[in-house]
Amino acid sequence: MKNFKYTLTLFICMGLALSFTNNAEAQVTEGVFPAAGSPANPEVPASWNKYYNYQGISELTAALADAHPDLIKRESIGKSYEGRDIWLLTVTNFNEGDADRKPAMYIDGNIHSNEIQGTEVSLYTAWYLAEMFGDNDFITQLLNEKTFYIVPTINPDGRENFFSAPNTASSPRSGVKPIDNDLDGEVNEDGYDDLNGDGSISMMRRKNPRGQFVEHPEYPELMERVGSDEFGEYELLGYEGLDNDGDGRINEDGEGYYDPNRDWGWKWQPDYIQGGAHKYPFSLPENRAVMEFVMAHPNIAAAQSYHNSGGMILRGPGAAEDIDTYNRQDIQVYDALGEMGERLIPGYNYWVVYDDLYTVFGGELDWFYGIRGAFTFTNELWSSFEMFNEDDRSREDSYEFNKHLLFNDALVEWESYNHPQYGEIEIGGTKKNFGRAHPGFLLEQMAHRNMAFTIYHAYHTPNLVIDEISEKDLGGGLKEVTAVITNTRMIPTHASHDLINNISPPNYVSIDGAEVEAGMIVNNRDLNQTTEQPHNPQKLEVDNIPGMSSVTVRWLISGGNDYTITVDSQKGGVVSKQK
């Protein structure tokens, strides 16, 4: 018996040990200890220290939609000039309400070809929302209440051109085919001349005892201009390239120029007034696809577009002519959101486009606000503050940053080249992935902080609650029913600009299940001051439900003990409550 008990105990202990080992191995197989605020084991593993080309965007968006069918739907809203799909992700809890009736946030990036990281912020936002749903109470509730429409890139053709063709950090702006800029009948079909074949267009220099430049003593890649009373040892010849037609100019027959952010139908001006404007508003198929989608989705209450660079959170107006369009009531909302943005994204400044930068006619930012009444920001991603988290910055900082944090990976070392026109020169300088685009190790942090600002913005789109339903017996079978509807967020159901221009229909507050004798808006409940709506009193029209405020309505009804009150707001969603 003793041996049996010993053997049984041994088997039990072995079983417990095996069970513990299996559990431990299962935990080890997961491979991670969760970091606060991030998905621990996402359904769709994604890397956020690199940039996705069109194929990568297509594959990642498809994978997200496949892995999260109840949270993400993918569709093409149109084709680019070269025939690429313009992907849009709708992100919400599809099991909770109608996605197109919830208050919505629209997000896009990469309208300019070389301003690439807006795509990664947009993709990161969709990925993060889906992967955190169910694990994070705030994100879960957010997707129960709100819808996100996300277009990772408006300009897939230009993005591919930037990645695959030789370019500088600042080219191309648009991504059209090369044009004959100097009208000599010739174009350079390959765009820029990549003389050393490294995929980046850097600089050319030539030794010249009467030049105006010398090498920086600590960073030889950096050329310094000498004083006006002395000579240097180098002359700068400009960007790497050839004089294709012998007119003395380098690369002038490269990529043609237009600006997709001057193509929108709000205060649009032709090219001779607004440089970069195309033929007419929405003459570009990509912008037109976005416009048609947005017009078909009036639940969009807020919008965000991502550009680079400069570390800015921008609101309109883009031109001084629109000062009165952005009126005081709406600016108060913008200011509250923008000031939080400065806190969430260190080193970024909340600015006004025309006042702090330059004049923009036909911009997307003003179109969303002016035509749709949606509170809209443009974030200019990448600030030199991010290099050393310092406000005081110098030209040398980027070279020190490259040397000590990127280990010279962002630079092309100066190398000799026998130029057919200039003779013996040297080619070198920065690569096209440095100067405007984030280095990999900073990309995810930037994406998360900008996403957090956009989520804060989306959270403060209208959230309507029927706070109170009260009754008063008036005798003779009549009852007075009073309802209080509260908007618990900062953004009103109608921007002031919306109200002035009748962009959106009013909010409708209706009562069903009772015979309505009269309906009215309560202007002052304490003094019993009301405004009656004589026509269709069952369905009251409420012009606006301001942010962090309430409106009160009242009906006189006969009969009906089980009635339902419903609020139907284009930008505030639909909410009902039964008595």
pLDDT tens, position by position, 326-343: 999 999 999 999 999 999
Q: Taking 50 as the threshold, does the pLDDT of residue 253 lie above it?
A: yes
DSSP 491-511: S-SS-HHHHHHT-SPPEEEEE
pLDDT for the residue 15: 43
At 379-413, the pLDDT tens digits run 999 999 999 999 877 888 999 999 999 999 999 99
Going by pLDDT thresholds of 50, 70 and 90, the confidence category of residue 442 is very high
pLDDT for the residue 176: 54
Going by pLDDT thresholds of 50, 70 and 90, the confidence category of residue 71 is very high
Going by pLDDT thresholds of 50, 70 and 90, the confidence category of residue 187 is very low
Question: How far is Cα 79 from Cα 4, in angstroms, rounded to an integer?
Answer: 76
For the CA atoms of 531, 535, 539, 541, the dihedral, rounded to the nearest 10 degrees, stands at -50
For the CA atoms of 397, 398, 404, 409, the dihedral, rounded to the nearest 10 degrees, stands at -170
Q: Indicate the residue type of 281.
A: P
Going by pLDDT thresholds of 50, 70 and 90, the confidence category of residue 220 is confident
Query: Residue 151: CA atoms inside 13 Å, Cβ hemisphere, count?
Result: 27
Q: Taking 60 as the threshold, does the pLDDT of residue 117 lie above it?
A: yes
Mean pLDDT, the chain, whole residue set? 90
Going by pLDDT thresholds of 50, 70 and 90, the confidence category of residue 23 is very low
Q: What is the Cα Rg of the chain in Å?
A: 30
Question: How far is Cα 134 from Cα 442, in angstroms, rounded to an integer?
Answer: 28
Report the first-to-last Cα separation within the chain, whole angstroms: 72
pLDDT for the residue 20: 35
Q: Taking 80 as the threshold, does the pLDDT of residue 275 lie above it?
A: yes
Determine what percent of the chain is predicted with pLDDT higher than 90: 80
pLDDT for the residue 248: 73
Query: Which domains does the chain show, CATH number per domain?
Result: 56-161+258-382+451-459 (3.40.630.10), 192-254+395-430 (no CATH), 464-578 (2.60.40.10)
Lowest-confidence segment of 160-164, 169-173, 486-490 by average pLDDT: 169-173
Pairing of strands 147-151, 203-211: unpaired
Question: How far is Cα 8 from Cα 87, in angstroms, rounded to an integer?
Answer: 63
Question: How far is Cα 217 from Cα 29, in angstroms, rounded to an integer?
Answer: 52
pLDDT for the residue 392: 76
Region 437-454 average pLDDT = 98
Q: What is the number of other CB atoms lying within 10 angstroms of the CB of residue 228?
A: 6
Q: Look up tokens 């800015």; give the residue.
A: 312
> Which residues lie below 8 Å from residue 111, measured CB to CB, with a gap of 6+?
118, 154, 155, 260, 261, 287, 305, 307, 364
At 510-545, the pLDDT tens digits run 999 999 999 999 999 999 999 999 999 999 999 999
Determine what percent of the chain is predicted with pLDDT higher than 70: 91
Residue by residue, what is the 3-state secondary structure of 337-386? HHHHHHHHCCCCEEEEHHHHCCCCCCCHHHHHHHHHCCEEEEEEECCCHH
Q: Taking 50 as the threshold, does the pLDDT of residue 256 lie above it?
A: yes
Cis ω before 209 (30° cut-off from 0) = no
